[in-house]
A and B are shown apart, each in its own frame.
Chain A
Amino acid sequence: QSALAQPASVSGSPGQSITISCSGSSNDVGSYNLVSWYQQHPGKAPKLMIFEDSRRPSGVSNRFSGSKSGNTASLTISGLQAEDGADYYCSSFAGSSVLFGGGTKLTVL
């Protein structure tokens, strides 16, 4: 199974909003409401930001939101802050496995 497709990089200025896309197929993203998003700072373990397409774990800022349309999921970060600069990964249940995207590096200008 192929990995999910994410842009390699995105950037934005403080206060702006950015969106990271995650493209899959009808066998994964499009079939299950089980897309997750992770934030990872260098040298650290990933942190869950969104699960089940759009739900936020307790303690995650409401500046982070998830959505999905068809086979493509999206993570939107509003009111960008310097500490949002990190790598972001999407993942999706795919029937009997879990697929990850290649990751997107977010640069806060």
Chain B
Amino acid sequence: QVQLVQSGTEEKKPGASVKVSCKASGYTFTGYYIHWLRQAPGQGLEWMGWINPNSGDTNYAQKFQGRIAVTRDTSRRTAYMELSRLMSDDAAVYYCARDGFSSSSGDYWGQGTLVTVSS
């Protein structure tokens, strides 16, 4: 069965970087885009970017340009999202999601990774 398993909770200080991983199983990893999204406490969903695991091509929301890097390791069937220069309002649950229908939607989601940012 399709599964996306994310890395665990991260506690960071302002100005630091965080790297979240998303390990895929149950399907052809290179066959479907992976999206990264986040959800601040009590807030809505926010799209951050996507990666084509086959080519490594990426596309990021303008808001995060210059501060985000999404990569993948096909041998490990894992996608990564690194966000740098963290600020307090980057505290959120970060999700990866598979775009199973090639429709800019997520049909399978990771369990979420809580990132806290505090001095």
- Give residues in A with beta carbon < 8 Å to B: 1, 3, 34, 36, 38, 40, 45-48, 51-52, 55, 57, 89, 91-93, 96-103
Contact = CB atoms under 8 A, between A and B. Distances in A.
A34 B103 contact: yes
Nearest to A3: B44
Given A45-B110, A91-B105, 13 more contacts: A34-B103, A34-B105, A38-B45, A46-B106, A47-B109, A52-B103, A52-B105, A57-B101, A92-B104, A98-B47, A100-B44, A100-B45, A103-B44
Contacts of B95: 45-46
Given A96-B59, A97-B62, A98-B35, A51 B105 contact: yes
Given A36-B105, A51-B103, A91 B44 contact: no
Contacts of B50: 98
A48 B106 CA distance: 7
A36 B103 contact: yes
A47 B105 CA distance: 10
A34 B44 contact: no
Contacts of B59: 96-97
A51 B104 CA distance: 9
A96 B106 CA distance: 16
B111 interface: yes
Nearest to A38: B45
B3 to A, nearest CB: 12
